[in-house]
Structure formats: structure tokens, C-alpha cells
Structure 1
Amino acid sequence: MKELIEIGKSILIAIIAAFLIITFIFETVSVDGHSMDPTLSNGDRLIVEKVSYYFRAPKPGDIVVIKYPANPKEKFIKRVIGVGGDRIKVENGKLYVNDVVKNEPYILETMTSDFNEVTVPQNTVFVMGDNRNNSRDSRFPDVGFVNYKMVVGRAALRIYPFSRMGRLSTFQN
């Protein structure tokens, strides 16, 4: 009987530890869709770290997992384009942040539609997928500006497929 109690305690401790790790430190997510092509592919498995955003805000270039504002049970993976105070627009296929054209070698193709200038409110981020012509992101009213509270964490590492395993780097210019 004593052994069963000890096993039960060990299982309970393991469950609590797993819950705390997933809630506060990291979790794994699977890419579902093509909005981040070519950087991330459908079916990629990622480790999302949550610790850094306890100490700093997301910054442009970070690849983040966010809760979809229209349905917080759903998660999106996007790239941070702008933060509070930044002015964002798309004109003639080019992304402008604070009137500066951004060099974006990671995007799949040139954007086919314009987006009127907006100013990102404080404590929010403006996100876009790397496959700009096939991405539901901050350009759409159901996503819009993403409050920091809706940012789950930073996609830090691809763990599958094994042939593409490695750290996901941010790109800023």
C-alpha cells in the first residue's frame, strides 16, 4: 500500500511539473497551414519559449505564436512587423515601417495588395505571415493589433522535420 501512495505522489508531482513548464516556460506547437512559407512549412513542429517575454516585449522580426483574437482557443504563428508607435503600410508591394522600406528576404513573394497606413497602439504588436498573399494577419480586422496578453511566446526552435531542425532566427533591418 505504501508503494502505491509513493507512486501516486510521483505521478502527481510529474503532472504538476508538466503543467507549470507548459504554462510558464515552453510548449511545442505544430504549424498548420502555409501562412509562414517559406520560413516555416505546414507540419513543422516548433518549441515556443515563453520566458523572454516576461522580461521584454516582442520586437520586430520575432516569430511569435499568438492566440487568434476572434477565437482565443486557436493559435497563429506570425512575424512581428511593428510595435507600439510604429507606422505600418504596404504600398506597391513593399512594406514600410515608419516610412522606411523593409528588406524582407524571408517572404515568399511580393505582396499583391496595398494596406493603408496604421499606427500600432502601445502594448500591442502588428504581425504578418511570411507568405503575405496567403496570410490572415494584422491587416484583417478579426486579427488586428495583437495585445501583448495574446502573445503566447516566441518560436525559438524547429524540432521537426529533422532535416530542418535548428534555431529560428529573427531578422531585423
Structure 2
Amino acid sequence: MEESSNGRPDAANWRKEAVDWAKALVVAGVLVVVIRMFLFSPYIVDGPSMQPSFHTAERIIVNKIMYDIRQPERGEVVVFHSGFGADYIKRVIALPGETVEVRGDTVLINGEQLSEPYIQEPVDTAAASGGTYNNKDYPPQTVPEGHVFVMGDNRPNSHDSRDIGFIPYEQIVGRADVVIWPLGSIRIIGHD
């Protein structure tokens, strides 16, 4: 910054620098709004329904454009508008046109058992004590076009498609891609 003859910063240069800073802040603000509205958004996990995969108060980044490019796939963790005044986080289990059934700890898709490595440990623990991890069966139903069937990983404590029905694509906010908080839990989210 140039100084005037009396050793103080020139007022015109000070104003120019202030205007440049203001422009930069406005551009940064617009970028933040655009990114949050259309591309990515932070969410906080609230409740135990996705344990052991996710825990209450974990912060995740949701990719909001993924499903503008393609449809959800089995195993992906999605955030959706539940219609109960909150957004839910659940795992996609069955896709349009598939018949889904839940019998104890067995999930059947078109009559074939679904492999679910993300809940294998609690399922094995429940089996070792003579019980089942899941406490809600679900009779065979075919997923309608434009919908998915979702379940929480914490099967005994999840309000999911077994209770609320199939989730329309238009209610899906996006795919959970990254856990960003707490620091010890930072990770890319696997979608097996």
C-alpha cells in the first residue's frame, strides 16, 4: 500500500483494497451457497439407527448431485426426507422391480440371500447367544419403479422401509460419501 507524503497509507489505495476484499468475500459467499445447495451438504447423524457403521453426532458430507447422474445402487448409504420432520440416513437394500423379504437376520432379494458384511459382527454376536439381530420381519414385496427399499444397519433399532415403506427417488437428498467429524473417525464411506 502506498503512503502519502505524511507517512500514512493513501486513502484511495485503502478504499481500493477494501473494495477488493469485499468482492472476494461476496464471491466466496456465493460459492459456498451454490456448493451447499447443489453439490455437497453437511449432515449430522442423529440417533443409533445406523450403528455400528455410523454413530450419533458424526458429521458427514452428502453428495447431492450423484443421483442427478445415475440412480441409487444397492449398499449405498443415502440421506432422504422422511416426512417425519427430519432427514434419515439409511442403506439402500432393494431396487425398483426387485422383491425384498426379511426373515430374521436373512434379507432376500428376488429369493436370494443378500450378503451384508457391514452388520456381520452384530449378527454373529446375536446368533452366538441364541437370538437374532433383527427384530422386524418383512413379508415379500416388490419395490415400485422410482423407489428404493432402505434399512438401518442397527436392525433392532431402526425406523426404515419396514415401517415407512418404499422411498421415492425425489425424497433422496444424496449419497453419504465422507465422515468429517470427529477427527478420529474421518473416512471415506464404503458402499458395499
If the length of structure 1 is used for normalisation, what is the TM-score? Answer: 0.88
Given candidates 39, 44, 61, the residue that maps to 2:58 is 44
Answer yes or no: is 1:124 the counterpart of 2:171. no
What is aligned with 1:162? 183
Please point out which of 60, 66, 70 is paired with 2:74: 60
Give the aligned CA root-mean-square deviation in angstroms: 1.7
> Which residues in structure 2 correspond to 1:1-173 (within 5 Å)?
6-71=20-85, 74-107=86-119, 108-109=122-123, 110-141=133-164, 144-171=165-192
Ranges of 4+ aligned residues in structure 1 off by more than 6 Å: none
Rg comparison, structure with higher value: 2
* Aligned-partner Cα distance in 2 for 1:2–1:145: 57
Structure 2: stretches of 5+ with no match in the other structure? 1-14, 124-132
2:142 partner amino acid: T
Report how far residue 5 of structure 1 moved: 5.0
State the 1:167 CA deviation.
Answer: 0.7
1:43-73 deviation digits (Å, cap 9, x = unpaired)? 11111112221110011000011111333xx
Q: Note the residue ranges of structure 1 that are not aligned, 5 or more in a row.
A: none
Alpha-carbon contact 1:45-1:160 (below 8 Å) kept: yes
Greater percentage in helix:
2
Contact 2:136 2:162 in 1 (8 A): no
Q: Whole-Å Cα distance in 2 between the matches of residues 13 and 138 of structure 1?
A: 42
Distance 2:180 2:100 in 1: 32
CA distance in structure 1 between the partners assigned to 2:168 and 2:135 by the alignment: 27
Task: Calculate the TM-score normalised by the size of structure 2.
Answer: 0.80
Q: Secondary structure at the match of 2:160?
A: coil
- Give the total of aligned pairs: 167
Deviations 1:68-114 (A, max 9, x none): 1333xx21110000111011111133111111111212124421231
Task: From the superposition, tell whether residues 19 and 105 of structure 1 become closer, same or farther in structure 2 (CA, over 3 Å).
Answer: same
